[in-house]
Amino acid sequence: MITPELSRQLNALILLGISGLLAFAFLDQFLLDDLPCPLCLLQRVGFVLAGFGFALNVVIGPRPSHYGVAILGAAVGAGVATRQVLLHIVPGSGSYGDPLFGLHFYTWSLIAFCLIIVASALLLLFEDQFRPTPGMIKREGWRGATGLGLVALFFFTLLTLVNAGSTFVECELGLCPDNPESYELLDEG
């Protein structure tokens, strides 16, 4: 049985995992000077779109519609990742970025989106989390979140904002070039 409180904790853990993926991509961008391509950026958006559903569960409480948000977000991200995998699946068609443990980031990304969809579907099987328990505390935004949930929400929101800043520096207000070689905003300086 999964109580609403346990469900919040599990959702916070998944949100932390997604934040970890975003942080890793960010570290790769700056430490290895690996500029993200437009499809890479859209996959990052996909992770935030999916994570939003888990954030809803942490802040408001578990609801089936929140898992729907996560699944839809992950489906969009998986679509983008699939497109990038197919772009490079034919031998000799090249690749983008360096591989990690034999697979490129977009392949790992596709695997992660599939795992998010499966995790959401598995959690949806436990209907007890959607029944209010006696004495359950009514949460009001972040003020009600505690411990793990608060940490996960903080990092997830911070990474979303930092990605917005980094994307602005790389592409300014226009569309990003297919093969970015520099940060457009810094080039002007």
Partner 1 sequence: MMVLPFLLLFAGLVALAGNKRELGMGLWFLSLVVTLGLFALHATDTLSLQW
Task: Decide: 153 and 145 in contact? Cβ < 8 Å.
Answer: yes
DSSP 103: B
Helices (H), 61-178: 64-87, 105-124, 147-171
Closest approach, Cβ 139 to partner 1, in A, equals 8
Closest approach, Cβ 97 to partner 1, in A, equals 16
Q: Is 178 in the site for partner 1 (CB under 8 A)?
A: yes
Q: Is 104 in the site for partner 1 (CB under 8 A)?
A: no
Size of the site for partner 1 (CB under 8 A): 45
Task: Decide: 7 and 123 in contact? Cβ < 8 Å.
Answer: yes
CA distance 20 to 13: 10
Q: Which residues bind partner 1 (CB under 8 A)?
A: 38-39, 41-42, 44-46, 48-49, 52, 55-56, 59-60, 69, 72-73, 76, 79-80, 83, 86-87, 89-90, 93, 139-142, 153, 156-157, 160-161, 163-164, 167-168, 171, 173-176, 178
